[in-house]
Amino acid sequence: MRVACGTDYYAVLFMEIALIGLTLVALVKAVPVPTRRDRSGLEAEAEVVRGPKSRRILGVAYGFGSVIIVQLINASEALKGHKVLLSITNIAMLFYLCFLNGWSRNKIIEWIGEWESKPER
């Protein structure tokens, strides 16, 4: 297999490293940590039920990210013959990050919230 080493190759390589790295961080953050017990011996837990606004934000983030990923892969001349597999694995990682991993969902909501609350000049 011959791989072209133009800017296409480096752009796809950068995106792959970033997405795989982010997924690995999210997987590590998803590992449950032992809960603390208070003096009475009870464990403290917290659950969050996502409302319609945050679910919409996650859907928009997934849609936006998937379009960028697929467009970058399809526009690239690098890695010809592997684009379908690359697209499927990237979309699967993005789906995991946007809908299944609690840490990354919280980060997406946090980033969008900060962006929305930032005053315009």
Answer whether residue 1 shows pLDDT above 60.
no
Look over the chain and give the mean of its residue pLDDT values, rounded to a whole number: 87
Distance CA 97, CA 66 (A): 12
Q: What is the DSSP letter of 32?
A: P
Answer whether residue 18 shows pLDDT above 70.
yes
Sign of the Cα torsion 82, 84, 89, 94 reads positive
Bin 119: left if φ > 0, else alpha if -120 < ψ < 50, else beta.
Answer: beta
pLDDT tens digit string along 96-105? Answer: 999 999 999 9
pTM for the full predicted model: 0.81
pLDDT tens digit string along 51-85? Answer: 888 899 999 999 999 999 999 999 988 888 899 99
Distance CA 33, CA 102 (A): 14
Q: What are phi and psi of 43, to 5 degrees?
A: -90, 145
Cβ(36)–Cβ(43) under 8 Å? yes
Q: What is the DSSP letter of 43?
A: B
